[in-house]
Structure 1
Amino acid sequence: MSNITKIEGSSCQRYSNALHVGFHQHILVIFETLLSDVLAKLHISEDLLNSYKKSIDQESELNRKSLASTLTITMDEEEAERDRLLSMLFFLVANALASSKAATKAAAQRLDVVLRPYKGIQNQADDAETALIRGLLGDLRKEENTEAVTALNLEPTLASLETTNNAFDQAKNKRAEENSTGETETTVEVRKKTDSMYQDICTLVYASALMATGDEDREFCVSIINEMNRVIANYKTSYKQSLAQKEARKKKEEGDTTGESDQNPEGGEGGDLEFVPVDYPPNR
Structure 2
Amino acid sequence: MDEIIEIDPIGMKKLDNGQHVHFHSRAYDLVNEYEPAKIGLPEPLKTEWKGNIDTEEDIGKEVVAETLTKTMNKKNEERDRILTYIFRLIRACVFSPEDAEEKAASELALVINSYGRVQRESFDRQSSHIDGLLVDLKKTENAAHVTTLRLTSALAKLEAANGECKKLYLQSVKNPHRSNLPTAAEVRPKTDAIYNRVVFMLKAAYVSGVASVDKAALKQLAEHLNSLVDRTDKAYHQSLAQKKSAADKKKKKPDTPPQPKEPKPKKPKEGDKPDIHLPEPEAPKKPEGSGEGKKPDTGSGGGGGAPGGGSSPEITLPEE
Which residue does the alignment assign to 1:146? Answer: 143
Summarize deviations over 1:237-264 as a string: whole Å, max 9, x none: 1112222333344445456xxxxxxxxx
SS at match of 1:67: helix
Which residue does the alignment assign to 2:105? Answer: 108
- TM-score where L is the length of structure 2: 0.67
Q: Which amino acid counterpart does residue 138 of structure 2 have in structure 1? A: R
Tell me: CA distance 1:200–1:149, structure 2 relative to 1, closer, same or farther (3 Å): same
Identify which of 231, 234, 249 aligns with 2:228: 231
Tell me: CA distance 1:231–1:80, structure 2 relative to 1, closer, same or farther (3 Å): same
Identify which of 185, 199, 202 aligns with 2:199: 202
Is 1:9 equivalent to 2:9 in the alignment? yes
Instruction: Give the whole-Å Cα distance in 1 for the aligned partners of 2:111 and 2:92.
Output: 16
Q: Which amino acid counterpart does residue 133 of structure 1 have in structure 2? A: I
Higher helix share: 1
8 A Cα contact 2:28 2:50, kept in partner: yes
How many aligned residue pairs are there? 251
Instruction: Give the whole-Å Cα distance in 2 for the aligned partners of 1:119 and 1:42.
Output: 69
Is 1:83 equivalent to 2:80 in the alignment? yes
Aligned-pair distance for 1:120? 6.1
Which residue does the alignment assign to 1:30? Answer: 30
Is 1:20 equivalent to 2:20 in the alignment? yes
Instruction: Give the whole-Å Cα distance in 1 for the aligned partners of 2:61 and 2:31.
Output: 25
Instruction: Give the whole-Å Cα distance in 2 for the aligned partners of 1:245 and 1:169.
Output: 34
Aligned-pair distance for 1:6? 1.8
Q: Which has the higher contact order (CA 8 A, sep 6+)?
A: 1
Instruction: Give the whole-Å Cα distance in 2 for the aligned partners of 1:217 and 1:110.
Output: 84
8 A Cα contact 1:212 1:218, kept in partner: no
Is 1:69 equivalent to 2:92 in the alignment? no
8 A Cα contact 1:43 1:208, kept in partner: yes
39-48 or 205-214: which moved more? 205-214
Q: Which amino acid counterpart does residue 72 of structure 1 have in structure 2? A: T
Aligned-pair distance for 1:55? 2.1
**Between the two proteins, what is the percent identity of the paired residues?**
30
Is 1:158 equivalent to 2:148 in the alignment? no
Instruction: Give the whole-Å Cα distance in 1 for the aligned partners of 2:125 and 2:33.
Output: 52
Instruction: Give the whole-Å Cα distance in 2 for the aligned partners of 1:101 and 1:19.
Output: 64
Is 1:53 equivalent to 2:50 in the alignment? yes
Aligned-pair distance for 1:107? 1.4
SS at match of 2:8: coil
Aligned-pair distance for 1:58? 2.3
Aligned-pair distance for 1:182? 4.0
Which residue does the alignment assign to 1:221? Answer: 218
Identify which of 216, 239, 242 aligns with 1:242: 239
Instruction: Give the whole-Å Cα distance in 1 for the aligned partners of 2:148 and 2:251.
Output: 53
Moved beyond 6 Å, runs of 4+: none
Instruction: Give the whole-Å Cα distance in 2 for the aligned partners of 1:173 and 1:181.
Output: 17
Instruction: Give the whole-Å Cα distance in 2 for the aligned partners of 1:212 and 1:227.
Output: 22
Aligned-pair distance for 1:177? 4.9
Tell me: CA distance 1:253–1:212, structure 2 relative to 1, closer, same or farther (3 Å): farther
SS at match of 2:40: coil
CA RMSD of aligned residues (A): 2.9
Aligned-pair distance for 1:203? 0.7
Q: Which amino acid counterpart does residue 29 of structure 1 have in structure 2? A: D
- TM-score where L is the length of structure 1: 0.75
8 A Cα contact 1:12 1:23, kept in partner: no
Instruction: Give the whole-Å Cα distance in 2 for the aligned partners of 1:212 and 1:166.
Output: 65
Q: Which amino acid counterpart does residue 224 of structure 2 have in structure 1? A: E
Identify which of 166, 178, 185 aligns with 1:188: 185
SS at match of 1:184: coil
Aligned-pair distance for 1:205? 0.5
8 A Cα contact 2:62 2:177, kept in partner: no
Q: Which amino acid counterpart does residue 54 of structure 2 have in structure 1? A: D
SS at match of 2:4: coil
Aligned-pair distance for 1:111? 0.8
Larger Rg: 2
Aligned-pair distance for 1:122? 3.8
Instruction: Give the whole-Å Cα distance in 1 for the aligned partners of 2:127 and 2:189.
Output: 42
Tell me: CA distance 1:247–1:156, structure 2 relative to 1, closer, same or farther (3 Å): closer
Instruction: Give the whole-Å Cα distance in 1 for the aligned partners of 2:207 and 2:251.
Output: 51
